[in-house]
Amino acid sequence: MGIEIERKFLADRPALEPPLPRAERILQGYVTIGRKEVRLRSHGDRFFLTVKEGAGVLRSEYEVELHREQFAELWPATDGARLEKTRAAVPIGSAVAALDEYRGRLEGLRTVEVEFASLAVAETFEPPAWFGAEITGQDGYRNQALAVLPRWSARDR
């Protein structure tokens, strides 16, 4: 079993951000949504099936890489629960922040996630000034919730 230790923040301070590297397009769709989620992800030329369970900073995570054909065969099962975003990897000290800019009906939403090697490191992490409010564990900002949201608005949060 894999474990994901991650904190998530809004990225609503673009004027403070460091120069960003090139972002990659991500398509993500959910087969199941809930405490145990099953998702498909296309990231560049790579394709994944991921099962996550739990909420908050610490969750179990299982991931299997798929062939393009397998992904294409499964993708229709995610109809109605999809999102699109671009992701830029931004080094911050010994960690890497994943800056996500959502597209389509979620246009305008920007988040940043940081994965950690241990819970102790996650708990002592000091976010840089360009990070906004922490949203770790807030159900409305989980990608599975965003995937079924008709339209994103900061007023709704």
CA distance 134 to 9: 4
Distance separating alpha carbons of residues 47 and 25, to the nearest angstrom? 12
Q: Annotated catalytic residue: which of 30, 62, 102, 141?
A: 30
Q: How far apart are the first and last CA of the chain?
A: 33
Amino acid at 85: K
Give the dihedral sign, CA 20/23/118/146. Answer: positive
Can you tell me the distance from the alpha carbon of 112 to that of 121, in angstroms, rounded to the nearest whole number?
A: 17
Buried b (16+ CB within 10 A) or exposed e, 24-33: eebbbbbeeb
d(CA 125, CA 115): 11
Active-site annotation holds for 141? no
Residues with catalytic function: 30
